[in-house]
Structure 1
Amino acid sequence: MKQSLGWALLSMLMLSACGGSSNNDGSSDTVVTPPVPTTGLARCTNPTELNLVSTDSVVSFNLESQYFSGQPGAVIATIDNSNVSDYRFNWSQTAGAALILKSVKSPVLAFTPTQSGSYSFEVTASKNGVSYTETIEITVANASSNSIAARVDHQVSDGNSVSFRIDTNSSLSDITWCVAAGPDVDADVSASEQALFTAPSVTADTISILRATANLNGASVSDDVLVLITKEATITSPYFEERVAKTFAYNQNSPYANAIEQCVYSNQLQQSCSIDTLPLIGQNASINNKQAILDRLLVSHQWMGENFEYVLENLDPNSDFATLLQSVSAIVISYDVRPSFYWVVTGAIYLDPTDLWLLAEERDTINEAPDYRSGFGNDLQFLMPWRYVKNNSYTSYTTPRSVRVDRSAQQMLPDLASLLYHELAHANDFFPRSVHSSLTGPTLLDDYQRRSNDSALISDQLVNFYPLNSQEMVGLAEVSFRGESATSTQESYLPADITSFFSPDRASDYYAYSTRREDAAMLFEEAMMSHRYAIQRDVGITDKPESPTASSIIVDWGQRGRIGDAKLENRAAFVINQMMPELNGSAIISNLPEPIQMTQGQSWSNNLAISAATNVRLNSPQARTSATETMVVPPLRFSGDRHIKPVN
């Protein structure tokens, strides 16, 4: 994309990342981002000083004064008279009881020792073919019976968001935060167990330390948590105007390592890279070549790449994801991506690692910066909730972040699968494999614009052959998803009116009316979830009480498995046949279960048990790997909430 393009066009194309949609009239989705309450944290009475250990090379180690078993700790490597961002790091443990290490590619090695003793680590710092390897030893003492744990020590680019959390229990009270070292910090501590802030600008790599203090069983306890704020180059990208996390190619030997590091998630990205530099995966690789996919993987943490590789090798038996990934240029998984999206400007898919973690230590590394979604439609008098279910049970795995547990791959899969089907449907809508050989560039954006101008996208053809009929729902979608002001007529609509508009039409979900791109993606997502996993999507129309909960909203109309409705059959089959022609879309849709009607007048929660249960539920105790897990009912989800990307 040339820099001379006007900002209006630039804004439209940037916002086409919001769930992969692109508005047909050139306007863009916007999202209200409420202000984050912040406070300038006080300085701690007793500051923290780290021990600096020099080596014979440019590498130095910053150590905590004491390490305790059961409490998070860190060793920070810094480079003398240079910024760590210029180097690549790789850590390994060389002595001591085995630790779970999830930041081995970062200058900050975070860990939680389970027992006392001596531990040794080796780190290699590399730059431009020159490497320095050093070792460091620490001693871990037994912890006091009264202690708290603040997580997680890590590196962050200046201007990027930071989140810290303490492990909570019912005995903790009077939690406060203060700055124990480093620059002043304005933080959101409205939820006292969390500290959320934007890393301040620094002139050189700087270690910031926050201290959490609380009352535990009548005693004052505290723990320090460290973040290395790294000095980064000035932001020059017209696309990534806010600081993004440091990422690296999962496969450093990939022929596309440099291209993906420069072309898809960089604050220095000036324009779309050419398809000669970064083509779609399917333009020069076979579907069964999973290594070709991993060669396009960009991550902020090594575990994210490892888990994604596990998904491809073990959780994709029909190669659906490998096939659909042929239509992307790269896969980005970073701790600061939220929500997931596909973006035509780079041709990449961006994944929120919340759908990929398996160990509590992995979840610890994911940033908890607030994820504000659309606040539009507040003047409307209806809600349209949704959920995925199997055997009358939710399939979404939900535990509070404060409960540190592991989860199994099977518990991770439903949310991840539905996400991948949706976002990759956007990529295949724009660039199905049938057009790969005819793409001429010079960029994917150029090809997209030509295809869009010719109404050649799959979603364009869907609307041409099988259009949606309800103009009332189209107008309401403008209010709910794009911020238009509701008219007095729209404000007067009751749930029964919405039922009369939506139920006889051919959309699978309210969000389908936001753009034709989302229409196609919603059809594909729901159809594939039902076909591959026998997981069905519930959609409903309810009233709108002041504080809606699953038990307080009352269903006026609802369906389980709407994708199996005869009215939707031709539309869903068409999308499947165009995106995955090796499948028989008509046969798939005709074999899906018949929709089940919800009971009018009952609550959303009471309409959960409306189908016969025949299989073991995905989240059953038999399927779990951790005996300490705590399952809770997922929060209410509303149409479009998973895919609307916040925009400033």
Structure 2
Amino acid sequence: MQRSLSYLLISALGLTACGGSGDNSSGGIVTPPPVVPDGLVRCDAQSQHNQISTSSDLMFITEAHYKAGQPAAVIATIKGKNVSDYQYNWTQTSGPNLILISNKSPVLAFTASESGNYKFELTAVSSQASYTESIEISIDAANSAQLAIRVDHQASEGNSVSFRIDTPDVNTPSQISWCVAAGPDLNVDISSPEIALFTAPSVAEDTLSTLRVSAVIDGQSVTDDVQLLITKEDAITSQYFDERVAKTFAYKDNSPYKNDLQACVYSNQLQQSCTIARLPLIGQQASIDKQAILDRVLVSHQWMGQNFEYFLENLDPNSDFATLLQSVTAIVISYDVRPSFYWVLTGAIYLDPNDLWLLAEERDTINEAPDYRSGFGNDLNFLMPWRYVKNNSYTSYVVPRSVRTDRTPQELMPDLASLLYHELAHANDFFPRSVHASLSGPTLLDDYLRRSDAEQLVSDQLIELYPLASQEMVNLAEVSFKGETANDTQKSYIASDISSFFSPDRATDYYAYSTRREDAAMLFEEALMSHRYAIQRDVAVTDKPDNPTASSITVDWGQRGRIGDIKLESRAAFVIDQMMPELNGLSLVSDLPTPIEMKQGQSWSDNLTISPVNSPQLYRVAPKANSSPELRLSGDRHVRPVD
């Protein structure tokens, strides 16, 4: 797997030990010599931290001052050891209750709403040793104006890193500037002043870096520091995960696959696919229930597994996802996965936690490194937008990251459900439950290659029985989704040409032409969203003005609920019967609403309100009246077409 990282590498960072009740031992934290500034400016005053010794080799690093309402952290290190060799569990033992989102990390991040004394207990366990120690801190009352950077955390060397400043509507910070408050110089992208983006450097030892932000709030000069613990990791030896992945752990500590999950599905040392004997599909187990699924969840933060478990228990009443998940080996949810995808090499599904957070504190932990999608198809003169709607409203949650708020499970459900239906359709295309007993391995990849060569996959059979007709759309998809160069004829096509190719054919979406695998997944996704949630997918062909927006593009042709078109009935029913035969595909598709035609000549935005409204709107679109969802274009939710 190749994951894009755009920001320059930075040098190893360090911490100067000082103050507190601890001794002067480094505790594994590097103190490099001073260096000449080269990138982000150095702060006039360097950060001061306390190192607190304990009766064991476990040590704590605390901040010089803690304020209520300001993000803070307590950091654990172990003398002579790499932090990554241990597993952590923090608990709060006294003080007003805190939300501890990073309780499985060496960096315990939190924001106290009240002043007072707070005490924490940490257990750190490795294969060689176990430590349990406590630390107490005092938090002062909040200042009348103060800055907040989120969020202190640990990152493996080579990970993408992002920090964000709170920018509330009231007392919004201005005159924002960043500087290095500890360690050597950094090359940081602060082209958006409220966000800092960079790549954690290679380090010889676990290393702490500190960035400081200064700003003006309500006429007062304010600052805040943010901490990053960069951990030393084994060298990257995998040809598949060839850029650094985040530190992850099994969500269920008692999982029988605890020691296999990371090594087999999310490791920079993965050399080849694990065998089925070591990590079988969930559906190949003797006992198949939701606990068996949770035993296969690998996370970077505990809350990700907890929210996924909540989704399975409370938002999957028909057990669709529990059933479909039988065709994967593992579920990886990590702060550096973006976008979500399924990968046959490991048999796992990889989920972007942006679709799973409920609390603002959870969203704070998700990396904001830019999600690089291709610029393929820029020479083409049409667009094919899409959206999911219910009762003439968007169902996607689009509150921007700058607005720090919680959301309800009902608000996360539509995006997560459509994503899971699509990615799990790939897993069930390759390995439907009907073939689980006959898989012979030794790896899933071996079985996939045999099945693919024999054209036995569901998508192979679909295209054989019910082929798509438009070769023009297939050729255009090569340009838009695979990077082929558009020829002069393709460059000359306008929206009406594309409408004449697409509308009479039997694909649900432009992206379906990219590969037969995506064709099957799009059919399954759209059918199940309409059937289970009465959420319909809009698709259209529009012009391509400069700086296109939902209100500036003009619809030449479009449909709401295209999956209900009689032309698609046999194709959708076949896919459903192969992947979830208990649903009776033909009956399901026959009951779907008849498509609604869009109004030619009106904008994409104006074509939102084309359905009769039957029930109250359940999904929040945006926090402000003048906010509107971004324009989504076909295929923009996926890394690349699955072949």
Q: Distance in 1 between matches of 2:299 and 2:638?
A: 21
Q: Distance in 1 between matches of 2:546 and 2:7?
A: 23
For residues 567-582 of structure 1, what are the structure 2 equivalents within 5 Å?
567-582=567-582
Q: CA deviation at 1:176?
A: 1.1
Structure 1: gaps (5+ residues): 1-13, 16-30
CA displacement, residues 257-293 of structure 1 (integer Å, 9 cap, x when unaligned) = 1111210000011110000000000001455x10000
Note if 1:639 corresponds to 2:634: yes
Q: Distance in 1 between matches of 2:5 and 2:134?
A: 46
Aligned to 1:382: 382
Q: Residue 63 of structure 2 aligns to which amino acid in structure 1? A: E
Note if 1:196 corresponds to 2:176: no
CA displacement, residues 405-439 of structure 1 (integer Å, 9 cap, x when unaligned) = 00000000000000000000000000000000000
Q: Distance in 2 between matches of 1:218 and 1:37?
A: 35
Q: Is the 8 A contact 2:161 2:367 kept in 1?
A: yes
Number of positions where the alignment pairs a residue of Structure 1 with one of Structure 2: 612
Q: Is the 8 A contact 1:299 1:332 kept in 2?
A: yes
Q: Distance in 2 between matches of 1:501 and 1:315?
A: 38
Identity of aligned pairs, percent?
A: 70
Q: Distance in 2 between matches of 1:462 and 1:305?
A: 35
CA displacement, residues 91-127 of structure 1 (integer Å, 9 cap, x when unaligned) = 0000000000100000000000001000000000111
Q: Distance in 2 between matches of 1:186 and 1:523?
A: 45
For residues 493-508 of structure 1, what are the structure 2 equivalents within 5 Å?
493-508=493-508
Q: CA deviation at 1:81?
A: 1.1
Aligned to 1:260: 261
Aligned to 2:302: 302
Note if 1:278 corresponds to 2:283: no
Q: Distance in 2 between matches of 1:186 and 1:195?
A: 10
Q: CA deviation at 1:645?
A: 4.8
Q: Distance in 1 between matches of 2:211 and 2:322?
A: 43
Aligned to 1:25: none
Aligned to 1:423: 423
Q: Is the 8 A contact 1:151 1:364 kept in 2?
A: yes
Q: Is the 8 A contact 1:83 1:231 kept in 2?
A: yes
Q: Is the 8 A contact 2:252 2:297 kept in 1?
A: yes
Aligned to 1:290: 290
Q: Distance in 1 between matches of 2:625 and 2:348?
A: 35
Q: CA deviation at 1:34?
A: 9.7
Aligned to 2:101: 102
Q: Distance in 1 between matches of 2:252 and 2:529?
A: 30
- 3-state SS of paired residue (2:606): helix
Q: Distance in 2 between matches of 1:325 and 1:646?
A: 20
Q: CA deviation at 1:43?
A: 1.1
Q: Distance in 1 between matches of 2:225 and 2:640?
A: 33
> CA 1:423/1:635 → structure 2, altered by over 3 Å: closer, same or farther?
same
Note if 1:73 corresponds to 2:76: no
> CA 1:362/1:510 → structure 2, altered by over 3 Å: closer, same or farther?
same
CA displacement, residues 526-564 of structure 1 (integer Å, 9 cap, x when unaligned) = 000000000000001100011000000000000000000
Mean CA deviation greater in 209-218 or 273-282: 209-218
- 3-state SS of paired residue (1:308): helix
Note if 1:454 corresponds to 2:454: yes
Q: Is the 8 A contact 1:399 1:631 kept in 2?
A: no
Q: Is the 8 A contact 1:397 1:631 kept in 2?
A: no
Q: Distance in 2 between matches of 1:221 and 1:174?
A: 10
Q: Residue 62 of structure 1 aligns to which amino acid in structure 2? A: I
Q: Distance in 1 between matches of 2:635 and 2:100?
A: 36
For residues 618-637 of structure 1, what are the structure 2 equivalents within 5 Å?
618-619=618-619, 632-637=627-632
Q: CA deviation at 1:398?
A: 1.0
Aligned to 1:40: 39
Q: Distance in 2 between matches of 1:447 and 1:271?
A: 14
Q: Distance in 1 between matches of 2:471 and 2:103?
A: 53
CA displacement, residues 148-181 of structure 1 (integer Å, 9 cap, x when unaligned) = 1000000000010100000013532111111101
Q: Distance in 2 between matches of 1:579 and 1:81?
A: 52
CA displacement, residues 302-330 of structure 1 (integer Å, 9 cap, x when unaligned) = 00000001011111000000000000000
Mean CA deviation greater in 560-569 or 167-176: 167-176
Q: Distance in 2 between matches of 1:130 and 1:517?
A: 48
- 3-state SS of paired residue (1:512): helix
Aligned to 1:511: 511
Q: Residue 631 of structure 2 aligns to which amino acid in structure 1? A: L
Q: Is the 8 A contact 1:499 1:557 kept in 2?
A: yes
Q: Is the 8 A contact 1:185 1:200 kept in 2?
A: no
Q: Distance in 2 between matches of 1:511 and 1:646?
A: 8
Aligned to 2:560: 560
- 3-state SS of paired residue (1:424): helix
- 3-state SS of paired residue (1:268): coil
Aligned to 1:470: 470
Q: Residue 93 of structure 1 aligns to which amino acid in structure 2? A: Q
For residues 401-416 of structure 1, what are the structure 2 equivalents within 5 Å?
401-416=401-416
Q: Distance in 2 between matches of 1:631 and 1:254?
A: 47
- 3-state SS of paired residue (2:188): strand
Q: Distance in 2 between matches of 1:129 and 1:273?
A: 26
Note if 1:237 corresponds to 2:213: no
Mean CA deviation greater in 413-422 or 160-169: 160-169
Aligned to 1:92: 91
Aligned to 1:120: 119
Q: Residue 231 of structure 2 aligns to which amino acid in structure 1? A: T
For residues 108-147 of structure 1, what are the structure 2 equivalents within 5 Å?
108-128=107-127, 130-147=129-146
Q: CA deviation at 1:90?
A: 0.2
CA displacement, residues 388-415 of structure 1 (integer Å, 9 cap, x when unaligned) = 0000000001111011100000000000
Q: CA deviation at 1:632?
A: 3.6
Q: CA deviation at 1:185?
A: 1.6
Q: Residue 359 of structure 1 aligns to which amino acid in structure 2? A: L
Q: Is the 8 A contact 2:178 2:212 kept in 1?
A: yes
Q: Is the 8 A contact 1:405 1:629 kept in 2?
A: no
Q: Distance in 1 between matches of 2:626 and 2:206?
A: 41
Q: CA deviation at 1:129?
A: 5.9
Q: Is the 8 A contact 1:172 1:214 kept in 2?
A: yes
Q: Residue 173 of structure 1 aligns to which amino acid in structure 2? A: S
Aligned to 1:7: none
Aligned to 1:615: 615
Q: Distance in 2 between matches of 1:420 and 1:646?
A: 16
Q: CA deviation at 1:35?
A: 5.4
Q: Residue 296 of structure 2 aligns to which amino acid in structure 1? A: R
Q: Distance in 2 between matches of 1:509 and 1:131?
A: 54
Q: Residue 66 of structure 1 aligns to which amino acid in structure 2? A: H
Q: Is the 8 A contact 1:393 1:617 kept in 2?
A: yes
Q: Residue 255 of structure 2 aligns to which amino acid in structure 1? A: S
CA displacement, residues 549-596 of structure 1 (integer Å, 9 cap, x when unaligned) = 000000000000000000000000000000001111001100000000
Q: Distance in 2 between matches of 1:336 and 1:368?
A: 9
- 3-state SS of paired residue (1:416): helix
- 3-state SS of paired residue (1:61): strand
Q: Residue 326 of structure 1 aligns to which amino acid in structure 2? A: Q
CA displacement, residues 423-463 of structure 1 (integer Å, 9 cap, x when unaligned) = 00000000000000000000000000000000000000000
Q: Residue 187 of structure 1 aligns to which amino acid in structure 2? A: V
Q: Residue 616 of structure 2 aligns to which amino acid in structure 1? A: V
CA RMSD of aligned residues (A): 1.8
With the length of structure 1 as denominator, give the TM-score of the two structures.
Answer: 0.92
Q: CA deviation at 1:130?
A: 2.9
CA displacement, residues 341-377 of structure 1 (integer Å, 9 cap, x when unaligned) = 0000000000000000000000000000000111010
With the length of structure 2 as denominator, give the TM-score of the two structures.
Answer: 0.93
> CA 1:355/1:631 → structure 2, altered by over 3 Å: closer, same or farther?
farther
> CA 1:128/1:36 → structure 2, altered by over 3 Å: closer, same or farther?
closer
Q: Distance in 2 between matches of 1:347 and 1:97?
A: 44
> CA 1:645/1:232 → structure 2, altered by over 3 Å: closer, same or farther?
farther
For residues 352-391 of structure 1, what are the structure 2 equivalents within 5 Å?
352-391=352-391
For residues 543-558 of structure 1, what are the structure 2 equivalents within 5 Å?
543-558=543-558
Q: Is the 8 A contact 2:395 2:620 kept in 1?
A: no
Q: CA deviation at 1:629?
A: 8.5
